[in-house]
Amino acid sequence: MSDWNLPWTGACLCGQVRVRVTEAPVFASACHCRACQKLTGGAYSLSLMLPASGLEVEGETEIGGLHNPVPEHHFCPSCKTWLFTRGIAGGAFVNLRPSLLEDASWVVPYADTGVADRLPGVQSGARVGYPAFPPVEDYAGLMEGYARDGARPA
Ligand SMILES: [Zn+2]
Ligand SMILES: [Zn+2]
């Protein structure tokens, strides 16, 4: 198992909200669904799935997106950068947008989700893809594969 070079630090565009990652991610994905296209204003969202205890947040965040209790989309109240999503797997995990990281140069998603809605010409570098979300029974194998082969910081 290779070294993740933790901790990692990151911030929103304006710097008002800072994050610190202290535990290794368990998965990395790119979601091409229509909701993620709209939330990012881009072609897809990137997620690093972290144990909830592995993300420290400094600065107030605000809830955005559809304001549903689950999942809870956190944004910077000033620059409106989409920061992370809480409430994954009953709150055990949080999906961090790795673009916030000071060094995001190593980030490669392991799986594409929402591929049915993928915009033409878009490639994320992921090695597997799902039309919507992976079926529950696939998660253990995906996480094993990610722990073994997932992209690491240089
Ligand atoms: Zn900000
Ligand atoms: Zn999505």
Question: What are the chain's domains?
Answer: 8-149 (3.90.1590.10)
Strand spans (E) along the chain: 8-11, 18-21, 27-31, 45-51, 55-58, 62-63, 72-75, 82-88, 93-96, 111-113, 128-129
pLDDT of residue 12: 98
Ligand with minimal distance to 11 CA:
1
- Ligand 1 center–CA 58 separation, angstroms: 11
- Ligand 1 center–CA 59 separation, angstroms: 9
What is the rounded distance in angstroms from the CA atom of residue 114 to the CA atom of residue 149?
A: 22
Q: How many CA atoms lie within 13 A of 97 on its CB side?
A: 21
CB distance 69 to 118 below 8 Å: no
pLDDT by 10s per residue, the chain, length 154: 468 999 999 999 999 999 999 999 999 999 999 999 999 999 999 999 999 999 999 999 999 999 988 999 999 999 999 999 999 989 999 999 999 999 999 999 999 999 999 999 999 999 999 999 999 999 999 999 999 999 999 8
Ligand with minimal distance to 46 CA:
2
- Ligand 1 center–CA 82 separation, angstroms: 9
Ligand with minimal distance to 78 CA:
1
| Phi, then psi, of 40 in degrees rounded to 5 | -90, -25
- Ligand 1 center–CA 149 separation, angstroms: 33
pLDDT of residue 3: 84
Ligand with minimal distance to 59 CA:
1
Calculate the average pLDDT of the chain.
96
What is the rounded distance in angstroms from the CA atom of residue 116 to the CA atom of residue 1?
A: 33
CA-derived radius of gyration, the chain:
15
Tokens 């290779």 belong to 2
Ligand with minimal distance to 14 CA:
1
> Residue 113 carries which side chain, given as an amino acid letter?
T
